Each structure stands twice: as C-alpha cells, then as structure tokens.
Structure 1
Amino acid sequence: MRVMLPPVIDGTLPDMASEAPSKALRRALIPLALAQFICSFAGSNMTVMINDISTDLDTTVQGVQLAITIFLLVMAALMIPGGKLTDRYGRKRLFILGLIVYGVGALLSAVAPGLGVLIIGNSILEGIGTALLIPPVYILTTLIFPDLVSRARAFGAISALGGIGAAAGPLIGGFITSAISWRAAFIFQVLVIVVIIVLARRVPEPLPADPTQRFDFVGAVLSALGLVLVVVGILAADNNGWLMVALIVAGALVLAGFFAWVRHRERVGREALLSTSLFRNRTSNLGLITQNTQWLLLMGVSFVVSAYLQVVRGYNAIETGVIYTATTLGLLLSSLGAERFARRRAQRTLIMAGFGICIVGVALLLPMVSRSDSAWAFIPGLFLIGFGLGGMLTPSVNVVQSSFPEELQGEISGLSRSVSNLGSSLGGAIAGTILVAGITKTPERSYALAMVVLAVTTIVGLVAAARLPATATQRSADGV
C-alpha cells in the first residue's frame, strides 16, 4: 500500500500548528541537522586552506582542488547506493556507521604526512562516510515527521544548517587554520562527529530493516563509475582537451548503460538500485535540477572566491573566511525567514526568487571586483548569493521529497542527495578548473570566466524553477 504525503495547498504550506512535533522528535532532529552541517562544512572549509595545505604537504593548488573534488565526487557517486542500503541494514544503523567511517577519515586527514594520505582520509573515507550517513538523515526526517508542516520545518532546519555549514566553512576553517593549524580543522570535525554519535541515541528507527532485500551491485558500480568519469573528464580540461571529451563521453555511455541495466532488472522483476518511476515525476525532475544548480553555485563561488583571494590577492585563511562571511550571513537571514516565506508564497515562487537574487549577486561580483582592490567589493555579491540560496534550499528539498510515497523515500533521498553533491562536485570541478588553468598568468580573466560560467548555470536553475507547477500539489510516484 502506498502512503501518500499531505498536499500543499496553492503551493504554500497550510497552517497546521496543532500538528507540531513532540519535544522528543525535536531533540531527535538535532543530530540529523548537525550531521548535514558537518558534511557541508567539510566540503567548503578546505577552500581557505589552499596555501597552508599546499605549503605544508609540498603540493600545488591543483592538488588541493583535486582532494576537494574527489571528496565531493565520492559523495555523489555513492549516495544512491547508500540510500538503497538503508532498507537492507536499517536507517539508524547506516547513520551511525557513516559517522564512524567519517570520523576515522577526519582523524587520518589531521595527521596526513602528504597529499596521498590526505586524499585517502578526507576524500575517500570522509566521502564514503558521508554517502552512508546523509541518506538516512533525509529518510528518517521524512518518516519521523509525518505531516507536511513539521516535515517542512525539519527540512528547513537541516537544509539551513547544511547551507550554513557550506557557507561558514571558509570562516570557521580560516579561523582554526590561522589560530592553530589546518590540521586542527579536521580535529574539530572529529569532535563534532563524537557529539553527533552521542546525540544519535535519541533518534528512533521508524521502520525495521529488511535483511532479505537484495542489493544491485552491478547498478551501484555502473552509476558510480559513470559519475566519476564525467567529473574526472571536466578536471582534465586544462591538460588535454581530447582526454576530457573521451572521459565525458565514456561517462555518458556508462550512465546510459546503468539506466538500461535498471530497466532490465525491473522488466524481469528483480530489485534494481534505482526505480525508473522516480524519473516519471516532472515536478521532482525539475526540483532535482534546481538542487543541483544551487549546490554547484555555492561550491563554485566558494572555491573561486577563496582561491582568488589567497593566490592572487595574497589574503590568509582567516581574512578569506571573514570576507566569505557575507554569504553565511545572507544564507542565515533568509533561512530564518524560510517558514514565514513558505506560508505566504508558492514554493516555485521562492525558488525562482532565490535564483534571481543569486544571478544579481554573481553579476555584482564581476565588475566590482575587477574595478576595486578593496575586499569590501566582494561583500554585496556574496551576501546576495547567500540570501538567494537560503531562501530556496528548503523549498527545493521539500518539492522533491514530498513528491513520492513512503516506500520510495530511501531511493529518492539517495538520488536527491546524489544530485546535490554532484552539483557540488561540478561546481568545484568546472569553476575550479577554469580558474586554476590561468590563475598565475591571467588571474582576472580566469576569475571572470569562472563567474560567467556560474552565472549561466544559475540561469539554467531559474528556467527549471519557472517550469515547476504553479501549485505544487502532491503527486504519486508515477507522476500522475
């Protein structure tokens, strides 16, 4: 039996304050939101450590960019399998396991003697840990908070902390790096993970695990390999154009093979890694595009601005983090008003407005930075980007998650987080590759080109948001 989620009336959230979650459920939300915070923090805090890490480990800016991108890529590649494993082994169990793997990776990164060990700890282990723990965060939230209003509030808290973690990563990472060492930033992550594990005892397990459920290993390998090839192809752009094209085409072919494999599994009645019914829902598909472009913009701007400030302007980690605080403040302000906005405006309107504000923010970063040597030139654009993102992160998540019944939450959570993290990977890979390719020879031109690419992708997100239904009524998994 399919359990349908409550509808959104006229695209806005109904006033159902009487259905507020219990105090116990609100306490259970704390470790889930903190988990999203620390994973998002890990994806952006290294951008202000570029000079420190490259000097200490005797590597280059490209080496640090590679470590950041691999971390984001591992998350994206394994998020779908991670979401599927929750059904077999249990959501809470996978959540705890992911925290442990992540903590081990952060500890290894803190003592890394070279770039290779840093990649194993930060990029591989932390990436795997994140892929295991993030899908349960969204699945548990959907199941624990059954009505739309409480779920929207919970998603709002999780998305806000995720966005704040990504936006505040440069500031917190910069402060720790300047005050102590870049290694201490990884110790900070370990301490937060320990706190989350302790608090996770409060998280209930709404549904029992199903150990008999088969896992599609072939599908998992094909989906991960396809995503890896595409992103690695983008990273190869500044070295070999033909290699870039070959890798991207190979990745596209592997992903096509993955979907063919999934359809074959479904036709013969066997469990597939991902249900093709997830892609029959037009509202969800458009929502996934908005999620991808949001995180692409956030991580792309974070890397480009941080690298430009440190490598070209000569700013240290804390100075770079302080400048990027404008994004954090903007995101925090709009996130605090997200629930009020949702009661007054349709979710499509909020997402469109968010992208529109972000486009203005990116446009401001271009002329103001090139015409001024002052750090204040970055503030207006960064603030608007943060404000726009904070207002649309929650509606985008809610549009996607609430488009499917309860039994598909594991798969859509994995797909949603995979798409978002793929956006983060692409942001670092595309914008970072453009910037790094000419940062020493033509820094202003490379910076401008990277920002133009980010502006174009933001416009793509705006177009997708404009095509969302004016009223986000509830649909079934079949898109009816």
Structure 2
Amino acid sequence: MSASAKGPVVGSVALPGAVAVSPRKILAPLALAQFICSFAGSNMNVMINDISADLNTTVKGVQTTITLFLLVMAVLMIPCSKLTDRWGRKRCFLGGLILYGIGALLSAIAPGLGVLIVGNAFLEGVGTAFLIPPVYILTTLAFRDTASRAKAFGAISGLGGIGAAAGPLIGGLIASAIDWRAAFVFQALVVAVIVLLSRDLHDPLPADPERPFDAVGAALSAAGMLCLVLGILQADVDLALMLALVAVGAVLLGLFFGHVRRTERAGREPLLSTGLFRNRVSNLGLATQNLQWLLLMGVSFVVAVFLQTVRGFDPVQTGVVFTAATAGILASSLGAERFAQRRAQKTLVMTGFAITTVGIGLLLALVGASSRVVAFGPGLLLIGIGLGGMLTPSVNVVQSAFPEALQGEISGLSRSVSNLGSSFGTAIAGTILVSDLGTGNDAYVVAMVVLAMVGLAGLVVATRLPGGKPGAVAAVAACEAP
C-alpha cells in the first residue's frame, strides 16, 4: 500500500485515516495559533497609558486584565485538554479560535474596563485554553522521532516566544498608527487566517464522546490556582487579604489532589492522573517551563511599564526597545533543530537560563548607568537568545516523556504550568513595580532582582535534568513514563 493510501507521512510517521498533507500545512496553523496567543499576553504592555486614559482606569487595572487573561488560560488548560479527547482535537482547536476571535472583537469595542476584562481575559482566555492543547497534542502525534519533533516544537515554541517578544513592537506600531483598539482587530484577522489554514488539518485519533470528565476536579483545580494568583495581586493593596487568598488557594489545591487520589482508587478517571507526577524528568521539565515563561512575561511587563510610566516613552518607542529580545528569540529558535542534534537538552536548558540571567544583570547595570534607549538592547538581546534556546528542549522533554494515550493530559498540564508561570511573572514582578512607581528606578531594580533570582533558580533546576547525548533525555523520560 502506498504512503498516501495509509495516510500522510509527517516527520517519519503516517497518520492513519487522513489524506496526505505536507508538514508545512500541519505546522503553519498550529505555530501561528501559538504566536497569536503569546502575542495577546504581551502586546497590551505598551498600550497601558493609552488604555488607562481611554477607559478611565489605572496601570493596576490594565495589569489585572493582562494577568487574568494569562490566569484563565492556566486554570482552564487542564480541563480543556481533557475535553479534546472527548470532543476531538481539531474541533476544540477551531472552537477555541472562534471564541478567541469573538473576544478580540469585543475587546476592540470595549467602552470600559469591565467589558475589556470579559472580552480579553475571559473570552480570549477560554478560547486559548481550548485551542492550545491540540497544538501540542497534534504535533507530538505527528512527529515521532526526537529530531523532527524538536524541529516542530522549535517552530511552535519559537513563534510563541516571538509573539510574546514582538507583541510590544507590533502592538505599539498599531496603537500609534491607528489606535489601541486596532490591535485587537489585528488579532481577530490573524485568527481568521488560522481558521482558513486549518482546513487541511486532521485529527489522527478519533474523538471519544463517552470519555468521562471530572467536573469536581476541574472546579477545585481552577478555583485553587485562581485564588493563588489573585492573592499575589493583592500584595500591594491588602496583606491580610493576600495571605487569606493564598491560603484558600493552597487548601483548594490540596483538596484537588485528595480528590484525584480518591477518584483513582475508585477506578474512575480523574481530571489529572497522579502518574503524571511520578516521572522525575517530566517534573523537572515542567518546572523549567514555568520559570521560563515567568521570566519572559515578567521582564516584558516590567520593562514596558517602566519605560512608559517612568521614562515617558510612547507605544512605538517602547515596542522598538523589544526588537532586541525578538531578534534573540528568533535567532535561537531557528537553530533549535541543529542545537538538538548537537547538544543534550540538559545543556541547552542550563545555557538558556545562564544567558537569560546575565541578560537581566545587563538590564540592571546598563539602565542604571544610562538613560538612553540603547541601554536596554544588550540585556534584552541576551534574554531573547537564552529563552529562545531553551523553550523548545523543555517542551520536548515533557511531551516526549509519555505515550500517545496520555498526550491529552500531559499537554494540558504542560500548557497550564507554562501559562501559570506567565501569570506569576506579570503578577509578581508587576506588583512589585506598580506598588511604588513613584520611586522610579528603585522599584524597577527590585523587580528585576527578583527576576534574576528566578533565573538562577531555573539554572539550579536544569542541572538536575539527566545529561547524555542529544535526545537522551527524551529516551530516559520515556522509559520512566507510567
């Protein structure tokens, strides 16, 4: 039987029951979807002053909207990933895109902060939670060997990183040339293009409508993470409320894990299998993912707010500063496949954290020594190179650690952990900065020092990944998979 009769050969594998399509057609809509979702998480950073003035709100209000968008993605990523098994991965992908597009258009016409939160934080956030898990599930199923999968994840993670890094530049250009609302129209147009490109996208695994769904577990996990991040946002407002929310979040997450264990002992399918946490390599990979996105979104928010509120930069000027980070991420992401073939994934992740931490150090040193725009370039360039070089191996470590049957669960957990890191970055670093903008450089320095400590923590975690030849991490992880 010919390859086309069996199904398309993607990477090195034929997908049963599908018509022949090229890898480029499979990757294009998936990578572009990751790009626009990452773009949405950072492009508002350069429009903070414009949005605040237009909607009669504050920097804190816009920060809350950005954090809620990232948080909604995080808390719903695991439940939505489970629903992809039940409803089908392509159906959830397209449904999420449509919901995202509606949210973007609603945000574009928002008369006040409340409507902006509904459109951006909730509709776009829920849409993203539905469409992102299929991106990683379909990629993992299509590309079986380490090299081709690394290249595919390199394209997806690279465009995700570029979206987050270029968000300020693109958003700044649109906001200055037209209006901040046009940036949301731009998102809706990109979503429409992705829907058109997805016509040839095929789901290699059939949907299982009878697959059980753990609603109780979904509610407990979502409520727990929501309280945790909302508590962090209260740090500069009410310390007692912050501690109360964090404590409630911890209790709810404890109840969630207790519920999961009881569900498994009863022989039913939980929202998230505890077996996913028995894989040491995967756990380490998840930790590095969380810290990487915390750094990316934390640096993006802190630098953007500092430039606008302290240095008085407009959206375009602020966006141009981030071209250095975008160039760094693009350069290192394009080399993902070559790096994966020549270096162990542990080495790539360690190097990435080391370079990123040095970049943060340069941001502190050079910005303190000079008020010129170019002072931000070297640090942001190194941060872009470091993050772009380690996003792909971290994703590959986690996704490659589990068989096809668990791809829905691990993809949801992986994306949830990453987006939780993004929301932590905006919430923690942003709260430190926003709490005392009047001190100017002092608040900026404190926020960046905290981010540098996060970078060092990531380096320590990365040293615990197994070493060996290129691709060895994935092999070890697969052997440890439950």
Which band: TM-score by shorter chain? over 0.9
Structure 2 match to 1:9: none
Mapped contact 2:11–2:23 kept (Cα < 8 A) = no
Structure 2 match to 1:256: 254
Is 1:474–2:472 an aligned residue pair?
Answer: no
* Alpha-carbon distance in structure 2 between the residues aligned to 1:19 and 1:118: 45
Give the 3-state SS of the residue equivalent to 1:87 in structure 2. helix
* Alpha-carbon distance in structure 1 between the residues aligned to 2:288 and 2:239: 29
Alignment of 1:26-425 (within 5 A): 26-425=24-423
Give the 3-state SS of the residue equivalent to 2:402 in structure 1. coil
* Alpha-carbon distance in structure 2 between the residues aligned to 1:322 and 1:25: 33
* Alpha-carbon distance in structure 1 between the residues aligned to 2:166 and 2:121: 20
Mapped contact 2:11–2:148 kept (Cα < 8 A) = no
* Alpha-carbon distance in structure 2 between the residues aligned to 1:113 and 1:352: 46
Structure 2 match to 1:13: none
Greater relative contact order (Cα 8 A, min sep 6): structure 1 or 2? 1
**Superposed CA offset, 1:208-265 (max 9, x none):** 0000011000000001000000000000000111111111111111111101100110
* Alpha-carbon distance in structure 1 between the residues aligned to 2:367 and 2:389: 25
What amino acid is the match of 1:105?
G
Q: What displacement does 1:459 show?
A: 1.1
* Alpha-carbon distance in structure 2 between the residues aligned to 1:477 and 1:50: 48
Give the 3-state SS of the residue equivalent to 1:475 in structure 2. helix
Mapped contact 1:278–1:477 kept (Cα < 8 A) = no
Mapped contact 2:147–2:341 kept (Cα < 8 A) = no
* Alpha-carbon distance in structure 2 between the residues aligned to 1:164 and 1:23: 26
Q: What displacement does 1:368 show?
A: 1.2
**Superposed CA offset, 1:151-193 (max 9, x none):** 2211110000000000000000000000000000000000000
* Alpha-carbon distance in structure 2 between the residues aligned to 1:56 and 1:112: 10
Given the two structures, how large is their TM-score scaled by the length of structure 2?
0.94
* Alpha-carbon distance in structure 2 between the residues aligned to 1:145 and 1:209: 20
Q: What displacement does 1:388 show?
A: 0.3
Structure 2 spans left out of the alignment, 5+ residues: 1-9, 15-19
* Alpha-carbon distance in structure 2 between the residues aligned to 1:63 and 1:18: 45
Q: What displacement does 1:460 show?
A: 1.1
Give the 3-state SS of the residue equivalent to 1:238 in structure 2. coil
Q: What displacement does 1:275 show?
A: 0.5
Structure 1 match to 2:454: 457
Structure 1 match to 2:6: none
**Superposed CA offset, 1:24-68 (max 9, x none):** 232111000000000000000000000000011111000000100
Structure 2 match to 1:14: none
What amino acid is the match of 1:457?
V
* Alpha-carbon distance in structure 2 between the residues aligned to 1:390 and 1:429: 22
* Alpha-carbon distance in structure 2 between the residues aligned to 1:343 and 1:140: 22
Number of positions where the alignment pairs a residue of Structure 1 with one of Structure 2: 463
Mapped contact 1:277–1:478 kept (Cα < 8 A) = no
**Superposed CA offset, 1:391-411 (max 9, x none):** 000000000000001100000
What amino acid is the match of 1:346?
A
* Alpha-carbon distance in structure 1 between the residues aligned to 2:23 and 2:389: 24
Q: What displacement does 1:478 show?
A: 5.4
Give the 3-state SS of the residue equivalent to 1:215 in structure 2. coil
| CA separation of 1:288 and 1:242: change in aligned 2, threshold 3 A | same
Given the two structures, how large is their TM-score scaled by the length of structure 1?
0.95
What amino acid is the match of 2:231?
G
* Alpha-carbon distance in structure 1 between the residues aligned to 2:480 and 2:274: 9
* Alpha-carbon distance in structure 1 between the residues aligned to 2:334 and 2:34: 17
Q: What displacement does 1:282 show?
A: 0.3
Structure 1 spans left out of the alignment, 5+ residues: 1-16
Cα RMSD of the aligned pairs, angstroms, is 1.4
| CA separation of 1:265 and 1:152: change in aligned 2, threshold 3 A | same
* Alpha-carbon distance in structure 1 between the residues aligned to 2:25 and 2:425: 34
Q: What displacement does 1:479 show?
A: 4.2
Mapped contact 1:405–1:477 kept (Cα < 8 A) = no
Q: What displacement does 1:149 show?
A: 2.1
What amino acid is the match of 1:28?
I
